[in-house]
């Protein structure tokens, strides 16, 4: 084991020991592990520092209804633990193992906390009260998927009426307006979101699963 990669290999071994038994998979050879929850995922990041060897631990849900290539944390708080520094293998191995156990505990906690589409919609609606456009976007989609059209439309309207010169906001407003129009036809709304999710799964190399959206399907009005 080279000195340059020793701490990375220790982190990878600890993560595999504690996260792989839960069904989590490493994202290629990175420090990111994913728990695939079908319509969403839990992202575990053993975040490096630009100043010294070691890592932080970040764990949070990420939602697959964003039309982008890279997954991002979608609910906070994200940081689980402060920085653990690598000095020697003997010192770092038990600390990395404890950190990976914390990651596994966080995955199990998040699975329980977000165990149904209704729970997800409720928590995202509450989070969106501390308003940001992306939090409103998440809440709008989650509530639209469970059939709460009124709540969904209110969150989309917050985005559409926001004022900023940011290019990303113009794109988000265009998407929000399109999705808001589709709310009048629940099947059309869901199928559009499902298409976005399917594309996100492909872009992030998550396996194809014809049943990954079954939990979110509601009876048409």
pLDDT tens, 78-116? 898 788 899 999 999 999 999 999 999 999 999 999 999
Q: Which residues pair with 46 in a beta bridge?
A: 57
Confidence (pLDDT) at 168: 86
What is the percent of the chain with per-residue pLDDT over 90, rounded to a whole number? 59
Estimate the crossing angle of helix 186-203 against helix 167-182, to 10 degrees: 140
Beta strands in 17-173 (DSSP E): 25-26, 32-36, 40-47, 54-63, 79-85
pLDDT, average across residues 70-77 = 84
pLDDT, average across residues 11-23 = 95
Greatest Cα-to-Cα distance within the chain, rounded to the nearest angstrom: 62
Task: Give the pTM.
Answer: 0.89
Q: How confident is the model at residue 163 (pLDDT cuts 50, 70, 90)?
A: confident
């Amino acid at each position: 084991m080279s000195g340059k990669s020793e701490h990375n290999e220790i982190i990878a071994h600890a993560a595999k020991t504690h996260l792989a038994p839960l069904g989590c998979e490493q994202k290629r050879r990175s420090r990111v592990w994913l728990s695939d929850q079908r319509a969403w995922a839990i992202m575990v990041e053993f975040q490096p520092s630009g100043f010294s060897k070691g890592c932080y631990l970040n764990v949070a849900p990420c939602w697959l209804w964003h039309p982008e290539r890279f997954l991002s944390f979608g609910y906070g708080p994200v940081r689980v633990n402060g920085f653990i520094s690598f000095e020697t293998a003997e010192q770092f191995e038990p600390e990395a193992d404890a950190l990976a156990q914390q990651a596994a505990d966080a995955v199990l906690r998040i699975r329980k906390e977000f165990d149904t589409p209704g729970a997800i919609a409720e928590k995202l609606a509450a989070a969106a009260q501390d308003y940001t456009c992306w939090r409103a976007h998440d809440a709008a989609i989650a509530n639209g998927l469970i059939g709460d059209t009124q709540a969904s439309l209110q969150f989309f309207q917050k985005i559409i009426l926001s004022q900023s010169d940011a290019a990303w906001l113009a794109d988000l407003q265009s998407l929000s307006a399109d999705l808001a129009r589709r709310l009048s036809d629940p099947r059309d709304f869901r199928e559009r979101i499902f298409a976005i999710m399917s594309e996100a799964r492909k872009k992030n190399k998550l396996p194809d699963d014809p049943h990954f959206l079954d939990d979110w399907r509601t009876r048409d009005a």
